[in-house]
Every structure is written in C-alpha cells, then in structure tokens.
Amino acid sequence: MSILSYNGGCVLAMKGKGCVAIASDRRFGVQTSTLAMDFQRIFEMGPHLYIGLPGLATDTLTVHERLRFRLNLYELRESRKIKPQTFSAMVSNLLYERRFGPYFVEPVIAGLDPVTWEPFISAMDLIGCPNMPEDFVVAGTCAEQLFGMCEALWEPNLEPDDLFETISQALMNAFDRDAISGWGGVVHIIEKDKVTTRMLKTRMD
C-alpha cells in the first residue's frame, strides 16, 4: 500500500498557443472503495493561476489551505497578483520545509503570467523538486498512462478549443486504464480574457 495511491487521482496540464489547460479526474476513494465523484483536486489560486494537488486527499486539502494562506499574505504585502514562476517557487518551498515528513501531494501548476500572458506550467514531486517543461506535465496514480497519452497527442501551438480536445482525450484514455482514477473529469482552459471550465462525460467506473 503506497501512501500516494491510497486515495487515487490524477492531474495533468498542457501548454497551448496563448493559453494553458489543466485537468483532473473527480474520484475520491479509500483504496478500492469509491466514496465521491465530485472531489475537487484543482484549485484557483488567482484569476489565471490554477494548481492541481493529486495524492493523499487530506494533504490535498491541507496544502491548499496552507498555500492559500501564504498566497494571501504575499498579495497583501506586494499589492499585486503573483507570477506563476514565483508561485511555483512558493509551493516548492512549502513542500521542502517538510523534507523529512512530507505532504503526500505532487502539485501541478498551470497559469498565465499576469503581465506578459506567457503560458506557464510546472510540476513537482512531494518534496518540491520543480520541473518546468515546454509541453505538458502529469501527476497521479496513472502518471505513466498520462505520459504516454500526452506524448502521443500533444503538439505545440494548439488553439484553446483544440487544446481542450487534446487534454480531455489524454486524461480520459489514461485514467480509463487505472482502477483508482476516473469517475468523471474536469478541464480548465485558461486564456488571457477568460477561463472556461468544463465537466467531462466519462465512463463512471
């Protein structure tokens, strides 16, 4: 029994042309038992900044609460919205503070720079090692499946509507091959002027 696969769940994020997308499944379960199909793993941390926290559900909630606290203080002190790169560093710091008793979450961050609107994605492991690639990031119990799907489907400079199709297919086909992920999906497409949130109609098993 691995702690990171106790509750199940997955998150992925992709870069597009002037936009980013972040998506997750909606299952909450305790090992083989499914208890909820509307569990929120992706949280809005700013108008164009979202973080997904797959892993142990209690730490998903706790890390979100602690991060919201730090972010609120930052925005009060700085009187401006945080940049995604800075936020990523903040998350990394929060996790590494608990290096020898970590939070069991593997965050995925997606956002647009509030000034330049540059797309940004990043992911990290449970002790905060950041990874900021140019294409996509994945995390969760079906990470391997997500890697395969993203590698096959992603291409650079996808428009928002195409990015939505790509990320949805990557998510659904990956979590359909994982027993403890799935039970619904949610996708956020973050563009300069709007964020579109869509629920996916998926196999509910």
Partner 1 sequence: MECVLGIACNDFVILASDMTNAHSILVNKQDEDKMFKLSDRLLMAVTGESGDTTQFAEYIEKNIQLYKMRNGYELSPPAAANFTRRNLADSLRSRSPYMVNFLLAGYSERTGPELYWMDYLASMIKTPFATHGYGGMFSIGIMDRYYRPDLTEQEAYDIMKKCVAEIQKRLIINLPNFQVKVLDKNGIHALDVIRSQNLTA
Six-digit token string for 19: 């936009």
| Residue closer to partner 1, measured from CB, 39 or 120 | 39
| By CB under 8 A, residue 100 contacts partner 1 | no
Rounded-to-integer distance, Cα 151 and Cα 112, Å? 22
| Residue closer to partner 1, measured from CB, 53 or 149 | 53
| By CB under 8 A, residue 170 contacts partner 1 | no
| Among 13, 21, 57, 190, contact with partner 1 (rule: CB under 8 A) | 57
Handedness of CA 88, 131, 173, 142 (dihedral sign): negative
Contacting residues for 40 by C-beta, under 8 A, at least 6 apart: 26
Minimum distance, C-beta of residue 165 to partner 1, in the bound complex (Å): 30
Minimum distance, C-beta of residue 25 to partner 1, in the bound complex (Å): 15
User: What residues are paired with 119 via a beta bridge?
Assistant: 112
| By CB under 8 A, residue 7 contacts partner 1 | yes
| By CB under 8 A, residue 97 contacts partner 1 | no
Rounded-to-integer distance, Cα 196 and Cα 50, Å? 12
| By CB under 8 A, residue 73 contacts partner 1 | no
| Among 35, 73, 129, 204, contact with partner 1 (rule: CB under 8 A) | 35
**What b/e readout covers 52-79, taking b as 16+ CB neighbours within 10 angstroms?**
bbbbbbebbeebbeebeeebeeeeeeee
| Residue closer to partner 1, measured from CB, 3 or 152 | 3
Contact positions toward partner 1, by CB under 8 A? 7, 28, 30, 33, 35-36, 39, 56-58, 61-62, 65, 101
